[in-house]
Amino acid sequence: MEICKLQNVSKSYMMGEKVSPLQNINLVVNTGDFISIEGSSGIGKSTLLYVMGSLLKIDEGKLYLDNKDVNSLTDQQLTNLRAEKIGFIFQENNLIQALTLQENLEFAQALGKKRITDSQEIVTLMERLGLLERKDYLPNQLSGGQRRRAMIARALINHPSLILADEPTNDLDDFWANEIVQLFVEAINKGCAVVIVTHNNKWAAEATVQYRLKYGKLALLDK
Ligand SMILES: Nc1ncnc2c1ncn2[C@@H]1O[C@H](COP(=O)(O)OP(=O)(O)OP(=O)(O)O)[C@@H](O)[C@H]1O
Ligand SMILES: [Mg+2]
């Protein structure tokens, strides 16, 4: 099932000089896909992920999420679609700083498709991610790796159809990076699609389809 499609998508930034990180990009993400996108720093990987999650407006082309042209949706419909279908792992910490780890996860759950809080599910996920002992800590009382895992937990808690992960293994040692990849594979086996953006080819190689972003274009890498 097609969950995300980019058709001739272009995106530029105008800040004095014009920067065009995405130029006529075509990409289809189907249920069961594990896609990695590599590329050097500043090339446009985060921009691409933001565009895929409809968090950034595109200049040209079309974005389809869950087979819907996002341009045909109202803001409310798009908000609901994102909340119900997409788990976004941001490159920078954007947990809610005034809420504890557990409260951050409860809040995310309350916004999800079931609109309920299931503390048992939160406990299970925190345990899996080695966070249970830190459940009452505020984000700034966590280590960098714990915060990264907390953001991953937040993205997984509502069982999204599409996980968009921006450098998810940053701040993690090999043990935890490997655990995260395993969690993604489990989600894929349950009917999710995962797109990870990374500059680390070790973890990119875990994906079944690898792309490289360079000079505005996506190129398929041979496995
Ligand atoms: N809001 C913005 N306004 C202007 N330029 C921007 C904006 N966001 C990103 N850029 C520029 O677009 C380019 C791509 O940025 P992006 O964050 O997508 O790169 P990246 O590949 O994710 O880099 P990194 O690996 O360092 O995270 C950069 O040159 C950056 O300066
Ligand atoms: Mg980035």
Report the pLDDT value the prediction gives residue 115, as an integer from 0 to 100: 77
Kindly report, residue by residue over 110-119, the tens digit of the pLDDT: 998 777 888 8
Q: Which atom of ligand 1 is nearest to the CA of 197?
A: 22
Q: pLDDT value at position 169?
A: 95
How many angstroms does the Cα of residue 213 sit away from the middle of ligand 1? 13
CB of 80 sitting under 6 A from ligand 1:
no
CATH C-level class of 2-220 = alpha beta
Cβ-proximal residues to 101 (8 Å cutoff; 6+ apart), any chain: 95, 126, 131, 134, 135, 136, 137, 138, 139, 142, 150
36, pLDDT greater than 80: yes
Specify the residue with its C-alpha closest to ligand 1, atom 23.
42
- pLDDT value at position 155? 97
3-state secondary structure of 39: coil
Atom of ligand 1 nearest to the CA of 19: 12
Which residue type, as a one-letter code, is found at position 173?
D
Q: Is 46 in the pocket of ligand 1 (CB under 6 A)?
A: yes
Please give the pLDDT value at position 114: 77
> pLDDT digits over 172-219, tens only?
999 999 999 999 999 999 999 999 999 888 888 889 999 999 999 999
According to DSSP, the residues that pair with 217 across neighbouring strands are: 214
**Distance from the CA of 4 to the center of ligand 2, in angstroms?**
20
Domain ranges of the chain: 2-220
The Cα–Cα gap between 132 and 125 comes to 9
